[in-house]
A and B are shown apart, each in its own frame.
Chain A
Amino acid sequence: MTDDKFTAQAAVDGKLQLSDLRMDPPTLAHQAVVAEDGGNPQLAENFLRAAELATLDGDEVMSLYEALRPHRSTAEELKALQTSLETRGAARCAELVGQAAVVYARRGLLR
């Protein structure tokens, strides 16, 4: 990311698009280190999950969120989602989905 890329003129010239609003995963990884050093590993974990989501487009992020809302997904669907996230390098999000699947089954929150 360079400062000269993000100018009002560049916006006028149509050189900036939606994907430019995604964070750089290394930037988030850096912020995770800062958060961890600051004594907040949970915030760091959030940033590391975010680094994974930064590679997904908006619709994919939205559908991941939707899938985890109560009574939206079957156990199979969550399993498939977990696998798909794993294969795309989103290991932390995949793990979260896997954990949710177990708890949702126990608490009756599956579809």
Chain B
Amino acid sequence: MHARDLESPASAGAHGRMRVLDAKPVNLDGFSVANPELGLVAMRSPYDPEPSLVVADRGRQKVVVELDGKAAEEFDVIDEFIARYGLDLGAAQEAMALDDVVLARMTVDVNVPRAEVVRLIGGTTPAKLARVVALLTPVEMQMAMSKMRARRTPSNQAHVTNQLDDPLLIAADAASAVAYGFREVETTVPVLSDAPSNAVALLIGSQVGIPGAMAQCSIEEALELRLGLRGLTSYAETISVYGTEQVFIDGDDTPFSKAILASAYASRGLKMRVTSGGGAEVLMGAAEKCSILYLESRCVSLARALGSQGVQNGGIDAVGVVSSVPEGMKELLAENLMVMLRDLESCAGNDNLISESDIRRSAHTLPVLLAGADFIFSGFGSIPRYDNAFALSNFNSDDMDDYLVLQRDWAADGGLRTVSAERLAEVRRRGASAVQAVYRDLGLADYDDERVDEVVVANGSRDLSPGHPKMVAEAAAAIEARQLTVFDVIASLKRTGFDEEADAIMRLTRERLRGDQLQTSAIFDENFRVLSKITDPNDYTGPGTGYTPTEQRRAEIENIRQERTIAELTADQDAHRGHLSITAIEPAQQGSDPREVCIGLSPALGRTVWLTLCGLTVGEVLRQIEAGLEEEGCVPRLVRVSSTIDVGLIGLTAARLSGSGIGIGLQGKGTALIHRRDLAPLANLELFSVAPQLTAKMYRELGKNAGRHAKGMTPVPIFGGGTDESISARYQARTVALVALERDVCEPGQPPLTVKATRA
């Protein structure tokens, strides 16, 4: 054991910087020394097999007799299935003979068609694919993802759960999720027997307002299939696969049972993908000393062999294992890429909180958002953290604004859009009311109107009264006892006047039976058009190609609710208009009183700008500065400088006019400085550059110091004390607006005027 293992971060530094660092959230995260014996190694373990493939002709059939160093007699169930179904033996010889670097370069080379990469990767074994992907840098992985993801248009999936399994809240949250733009919504249960109720509520809520989102209820495999067979869900994704046989069997399945499960879902028109995600084998103590990447490559190869159209990986339940080792986050990105390279739908993880650190969790999601995936999240927590019955997602409902801003910052389509508070209230009420009506109509439960009201405004289940604990359980039991199907739900919606939702669910059911949504990467758009690898193939071949948002979509990404026009940003000025009136006396003359200090006023101060960035009115700022000067026995004179908006020049102009040779420059937004007549414009004596941080006291001190300068005394330093605020982020948008007002009234060439200020 390394000595550092014994040393806690807290003991490493008793004070100062280290103490601050110790308290940072990132130090709540666990970090492991890489340990291949336990499979605790991201990209490559010394025990990973050498890639190999030996194919023999058995009659007319080609048969794999060796896979990644293992002879057929030793194949475990996973090898067996991959060898039998997973590899394109037509391309295998060529692909396996290619140098890893050559193949790696092809994945990022925009001049090599996507289809050619897919063809060759189809002939690679799990060990070979892992080796190839491990050669890429994170940026190259992103390049490869842009080119290799199956669907052109990116999309997103939401978790919709709550701690009470409250069906009204599930419906309201599902309706909210589709309003935000999610095209798949996924629920699960804290209490397994509640599952049928959750599935029904989710199905109804997911068709409110905007139809066509697919819904799933993630629970034990057999029970989930039963709900699917009754049409209560429209897709399934928690068909778990693992990279070692031991863990697979511990999960109570084999690739053969999973293959039947996959076909069972397809037989009822349910879209399905498998779930893997690195680290699970390590967590379950059976990683066979292999790297996380290699085991995940086995999972992805198996997914393809099973005939699954897609894979959820790249940050699932064991994400903390992966992120604890060096290169862990890179490995997670490689997982998504391997899915794309095998020409499968990538539902790109991010659905488990990877870190206590906001910086680190953002770092996990950003590469996927920028590169694009079929689903950026395989579960964005659309509900509060505490209500997530899966695990906390990497982004949750209180991160929604951050996410929407990130989309806007990078012009990256992450699948979501802004929703107004009014619209949210509307769809939440509709969803909750529809479930209330259906549960009453079908005799499942009787929720009163007050409950609907509560749900509409609730952030999460903690805002609801607990209600009767058995209510949901009884509703779920009744759904099971009566074996209710999607047709019962549709009939009930229709009977209770929720025609739109009834029709939407019927349309979804009907479209499902056409089967187009079973193809790779399929989603329904809002008009029930299928967008898939077949109908909306990724056509990226370099800059200027591939997915670009429509004008309408671009507007959705850009028009966040927080954005403001210049007029909106300066609207608060009007409330203070006229509190001061500044009138011209005469063209400004050179003063002769050695105690005179001129205060140069910017063009808009007291004309269109009335309120400074720190919240003081310009009148108050002037009063403080003048008072400071007077306390030092000096005489202020106001001078309007209309010819420039530059506070340095304004101050210098004032200094040159004043009898003392000392002047003050003041902008409407509050920026102020002290100048002296013999200095260069940018070389001032004292500058208050951070206008938002200024106080009345500081302006008074500024006046006093100007007075001291005028008298040839030593000024008293003025300390602001510093700040933790992002001054740039908070104020620069408003600063631009105020500067624009200054510019509007600036008159270059105009001589300065001596003015007087009269308070209203």
The answer, yes or no, to whether A79 is at the interface (CB within 8 Å) is no
A23-B515, A45-B307, A65-B257 are known contacts. Are A8 and B491 too (CB-CB below 8 A)? Answer: yes
Q: Let me know if B256 and A46 touch, CB within 8 A.
A: no
Q: Let me know if B77 and A107 touch, CB within 8 A.
A: yes
Residues of B within 8 A of A62 (CB): 222, 225-226, 229
Give the shortest distance, in Å, between B260 (CB) and chain A (any CB): 5
Q: Which residues of B70-104 are within 8 A (CB) of A?
A: 75-77, 80, 84-86, 88
Q: Let me know if A31 and B231 touch, CB within 8 A.
A: no
The answer, yes or no, to whether A80 is at the interface (CB within 8 Å) is no
Q: Let me know if B263 and A50 touch, CB within 8 A.
A: yes
Q: Let me know if A21 and B269 touch, CB within 8 A.
A: yes
The answer, yes or no, to whether B493 is at the interface (CB within 8 Å) is yes
Contact partner, A54, options B267, B304, B490, Cβ 8 Å: B267
**Complex-state Cα separation, A61 to B264, whole angstroms:** 7
A8-B491, A45-B307, A61-B229 are known contacts. Are A69 and B254 too (CB-CB below 8 A)? Answer: yes
Q: Which residues of A27-85 are within 8 A (CB) of B?
A: 27-28, 30-31, 34-35, 38-47, 49-54, 56, 58, 61-62, 64-66, 68-70
Q: Let me know if A23 and B222 touch, CB within 8 A.
A: no
Residues of A within 8 A of B48 (CB): none
**Complex-state Cα separation, A100 to B255, whole angstroms:** 9
**Complex-state Cα separation, A46 to B488, whole angstroms:** 30
**Complex-state Cα separation, A28 to B230, whole angstroms:** 19
Contact partner, B513, options A24, A42, A53, Cβ 8 Å: A24
**Complex-state Cα separation, A73 to B307, whole angstroms:** 24
Give the shortest distance, in Å, between B439 (CB) and chain A (any CB): 17
Name the residue on A nearest B264 (C-beta): A61
Contact partner, B520, options A40, A93, A99, A104, Cβ 8 Å: A40
Residues of B within 8 A of A1 (CB): 510, 513-514
Residues of B within 8 A of A21 (CB): 229-231, 268-269, 485-486, 509, 513
The number of chain A residues touching the other chain, given as a range, is 35 or more
The answer, yes or no, to whether A91 is at the interface (CB within 8 Å) is no
**Complex-state Cα separation, A75 to B307, whole angstroms:** 25
Contact partner, A12, options B264, B495, B520, Cβ 8 Å: B495
**Complex-state Cα separation, A44 to B434, whole angstroms:** 39
The answer, yes or no, to whether B487 is at the interface (CB within 8 Å) is yes
Q: Let me know if B256 and A100 touch, CB within 8 A.
A: yes
Q: Let me know if A45 and B268 touch, CB within 8 A.
A: no
A38-B533, A104-B254 are known contacts. Are A50 and B264 too (CB-CB below 8 A)? Answer: yes
Give the shortest distance, in Å, between A97 (CB) and chain B (any CB): 8
A35-B519, A43-B309 are known contacts. Are A11 and B491 too (CB-CB below 8 A)? Answer: yes
**Complex-state Cα separation, A43 to B343, whole angstroms:** 11
Residues of B within 8 A of A109 (CB): 77, 249, 254
**Complex-state Cα separation, A54 to B86, whole angstroms:** 24
Q: Let me know if B502 and A8 touch, CB within 8 A.
A: yes
Residues of A within 8 A of B491 (CB): 8, 11-12, 14
Instruction: Point out residues on B near A: beta carbons under 8 Å.
Output: 75-77, 80, 84-86, 88, 115, 118-119, 122, 221-222, 225-226, 229-231, 245, 249, 252-254, 256-257, 259-269, 304-309, 343, 483, 485-488, 490-491, 493-495, 499, 502-503, 506, 509-510, 513-516, 518-520, 533-534
- List the 3 closest A-B pairs by CB distance, nearest first: A46-B307, A50-B266, A49-B263
